[in-house]
Amino acid sequence: LITTRLVHSGPGKSSPLLDSELSFGLRSGTKQGVETHVFRVGSAKELSTWTHLLVEGCHNAAELIKEVTADCSWNGKDCTLGVHINDGFTLFTEEMGVRKNILLQQPFERLRMSSDDGVRMMFLDFGGPEAEIQLDLKCCPKTLVFIIHSFLSAKVKRLGLLA
């Protein structure tokens, strides 16, 4: 659930305004890329219930999990990226399962932009000329990108900025 986000909720685009079909769309980040699923519901109440439960479930999963890690390479060095819902981003090396050396640490508040190539590279920009990092995740970055989005959405919800 934490790698899933709601991308559409309401009448379908091709449906006429009257008697339109109600649906919601989900996108999930996987190691193979992005999967999209569309679900049809029978009433506006069902649509509201499903969308509310999915968004709440995603936020609850983010708050419960708190941190994910991914092996990566940064500037030619093998390391691990930790993304923590409260502490933000930490690049570190590990030895026998213990964090050995912190290479970089940035809070979520410094993140200005993120992007990926859809194949294996993720780019994080924390502002400033030397604050953009390029990470080789060695697999599709979409799972991690969607988790970052879930963490950010849960943080916004926690601040009371979402209805």
Q: What is the mean pLDDT of the chain?
A: 90
What are the φ and ψ backbone dihedral angles of 11, each rounded to 5 degrees? -70, 145
Contacts of the segment 97-100: beta carbons below 8 A, 24+ positions apart: none
pLDDT tens for 87-115 read 999 999 988 777 789 999 999 999 999 99
**If we measure between CA atoms, which residue out of 124, 141, 149 comes closest to residue 62?**
149
Residue 138 scores a pLDDT above 50: yes
Local structure of 58: helix, strand or coil: helix
- Mean pLDDT, residues 123-144 taken together: 91
Sheet holding 4-11: strands in order across?
4-11, 22-30, 33-41
Q: How many other C-beta atoms can be found within 10 angstroms of the C-beta atom of residue 17? A: 6
Quickly list H helices, 2-141: 44-65
Q: What domains appear along the chain, each with residue ranges and CATH number?
A: 4-65 (no CATH), 67-158 (2.30.29.30)
pLDDT at 52: 94
